[in-house]
Amino acid sequence: MAQNVFVFGTLKKGFPLHQQGLASATMLGPYRTQARFPLLIAGPRFAPMMFNEPGIGFHVVGELYIVEERAMENLDCIESIGKPENLRVSIDVKPIEGGRALSALACMKTWDLAEPVHSGYLDVYDDRRFILPAKTKGYCDKTGRREQASLAYVSQVGTLSSSLRSIDR
């Protein structure tokens, strides 16, 4: 089932993760959050992070997309949805040019990930300091699974084999 997804950072058109995350999605246009949210640049990768604290910060400007289910799995992987510090939240957004508000999913973080902080609150993300994760450190493949999972499995099997060999001695 297709979902409305609001993006405000590195998934926007022209930014580093757009092609991998939203190449197959349909863009509805520029939108703004109906409520104010804290958006800032933080973490070792200079990532844009929005926090689920409506009423704080600014009305965040971004893009609204219609995303199919398979592409949602890939987005969840890119955004680390499923890990405790990474959330998918339903918010209301409205077109910049005017029109009715729509409900959309937005990926938000918890403050635990916001160290160090590199900016104050923003309404528009246009920073270019974002550092892409290294491919060997869990980057998502086209099916939305982390390559790291298979590497971790191979590592665990190797550790288990070594442990079993030492018991046999």
Judged against a pLDDT cut of 50, whether residue 165 lies above it is answered with no
pTM over 0.85? The answer is no
How far apart are the C-alpha atoms of 121 and 147, rounded to whole Å? 33
How far apart are the C-alpha atoms of 29 and 62, rounded to whole Å? 9
Average of per-residue pLDDT across 85-99: 97
pLDDT of residue 133: 84
How far apart are the C-alpha atoms of 2 and 65, rounded to whole Å? 10
Query: Domain limits of the chain?
Result: 3-132, 133-169
**Residue that has been written with the tokens 């499995």 in this structure:** 153
Judged against a pLDDT cut of 50, whether residue 80 lies above it is answered with yes
Alpha helices in the chain (DSSP H): 18-22, 69-78, 147-168
Q: Per the residue annotation, which of 63, 68, 73, 79 is the catalytic one? A: 79
Judged against a pLDDT cut of 70, whether residue 141 lies above it is answered with no
Residue from 45, 26, 29, 49 nearest 106 by CA: 49
Q: Quick one: how far is CA 156 from the chain centroid? A: 28
Is 79 catalytic? The answer is yes
When the pLDDT of each residue in the chain is averaged and rounded to a whole number, the result is 86
Reported residue count of the chain is 169
Q: For residue range 31-69, what is the model confidence (pLDDT) as tens digits?
A: 999 999 999 999 999 999 999 999 999 999 999 999 999
Judged against a pLDDT cut of 70, whether residue 158 lies above it is answered with no
Of the pLDDT bands very low, low, confident and very high (cuts 50, 70, 90), residue 107 is very high
| Residue 103: its H or E element | strand 102-109
Quote the percentage of the chain above a pLDDT of 70. Answer: 79
CATH architecture of 3-132: Roll (3.10)
